[in-house]
Amino acid sequence: MVAPKCHGDPVMRARGWSVVEYCKLGRTGLDVSVLMLGAWSYGRAAWEGERPIEDEESIRTIQAALDAGINWIDTAAGYGDGHSERVVGEAVKGRRDEVLLASKAMGTPEVIHQTIDKCLKNMGIDCVDLYQLHYPARGVPVADQVGAMVELQEAGKIRFIGVSNFSLEEHQEAVETARVETSQPPFNVFWRQYENDVLPLCIEHDISVIPYSPLAQGLLAGRFRKVEDVPEDIRARNKLMAPGILEDCVAVVARLEEIAQAHGRTVAQAAIAWTLQTPGITAPIIGCRRPEQLADNLGGVGWRLGDAEYREIAEAGEVISAKLDLSDNMWGWRPI
Ligand SMILES: NC(=O)c1ccc[n+]([C@@H]2O[C@H](COP(=O)([O-])OP(=O)(O)OC[C@H]3O[C@@H](n4cnc5c(N)ncnc54)[C@H](OP(=O)(O)O)[C@@H]3O)[C@@H](O)[C@H]2O)c1
């Protein structure tokens, strides 16, 4: 049986110059676009290698996403120590009713309580729609971390709870403590860590899966063909861009590009379509620095790779994923 890719039948709606698909957010009954905008780079720290990030350009990109019908945005306290939250808050001023705002915290219950207060201040809002545990904090029971999120919900500071970078066991503990609406794992053609355990659990519990780095930070958009192309920013630490792995990834990207061209699409669009076709995936979080990247990535929605094409790329990506050290995150560290 093919699992539903999102919970409820997706519907297409024309919006301005684009057409975006929508589906249900967990069990909330709310409609969310099947693409979420990622705001990590707008925090500037970690992404300044190639050229500086301009807040004005970040704001234009966020507003273009809203114009195109994307109706949720993912940020975090840790993205530039609140800078990304401030930029997102600024960009959605006057349009708050058009968008669900998601942010993240991590740590002990005390730290989580402090972090939400800063988040609300940074974004200039009274309540954040989706608050996520960014990483499970080592040495703190999952029930205590999720319990702190429930307290924030009861205090009216957040609407819904999400988790990120949680293992199967951590998900199991989380769902015993509270209703969890979203899970945010790393996931793309090459990084398949949670495909066979977390994704089925999310399907079972109607948890929307919003995978991060669907374009492998630009690699699946065809940006990097050799190690020297990788910018001296966060990407320089990405395990997929290490010598010996990057070359294998580039060969798969070249094949994906051929498939994309046969459909009249770009390789970034094919990578997004592939992600959306994976059972259990609700909405990839796309990191767009500029409106032009956003315009390209919107074309990842509303079409499908053929089943054989999907499987060919899935199998080629799995071979690479099996070679990776998955013990820490994509960049080789555990932030907490
Ligand atoms: N929960 C977590 O631990 C976690 C971790 C990572 C990310 N995230 C979330 O997920 C979001 C997305 O992840 P991500 O930014 O790592 O990865 P991504 O979406 O895979 O890649 C984003 C980068 O790819 C390049 N790109 C995007 N579209 C392109 C296009 N059409 N053509 C050419 N290049 C394109 C851009 O690179 P340039 O900047 O070089 O232009 C962009 O910054 C983040 O913003 C964040 O919200 C969460």
Using an 8 Å Cβ cutoff, are 110 and 162 in contact?
no
pLDDT per residue as tens digits for the range 181-191: 999 999 999 99
Ordered structural domains, the chain, with CATH: 22-221+278-303 (3.20.20.100)
Q: Is the CB of 74 under 6 A from ligand 1?
A: yes
Strand pairing category for 36-38 and 31-33: unpaired
What average pLDDT does the segment 107-127 reach? Answer: 98
Burial letters 218-231, b for 16+ CB under 10 A, else e: bbbbbbbeeeeebb
Q: Is the CB of 159 under 6 A from ligand 1?
A: no
Mapping DSSP onto H, E and C, the string for 36-77 reads EEECCHHHCCCCCCCCCCCHHHHHHHHHHHHHHCCCEEECCC
State which of 239, 256, 286 you would mutate to test the pocket of ligand 1, scoring each by most atoms of that ligand within 8 A of its C-beta.
286
CA–CA distance, 199 with 230 (Å, rounded to integer): 30
Give the tokens for residue 77: 């306290």
Q: Is the CB of 280 under 6 A from ligand 1?
A: no
pLDDT per residue as tens digits for the range 80-114: 999 999 999 999 999 999 999 999 999 999 999 99
State which of 40, 135, 170, 281 you would mutate to test the pocket of ligand 1, scoring each by most atoms of that ligand within 8 A of its C-beta.
40
Catalytic residue list: 79
pLDDT per residue as tens digits for the range 225-283: 999 999 988 899 999 999 999 999 999 999 999 999 999 999 999 999 999 999 999 99
The alpha carbon of 140 and the centre of ligand 1 are apart by a number of angstroms equal to 29
Q: Is the CB of 212 under 6 A from ligand 1?
A: yes
The alpha carbon of 192 and the centre of ligand 1 are apart by a number of angstroms equal to 17
Q: DSSP label at 239?
A: G
Q: Which atom of ligand 1 is nearest to the CA of 47?
A: 39
- 206 CB contacts (<8 Å, ≥6 apart)? 7, 26, 27
DSSP 3-state assignment of 12? strand
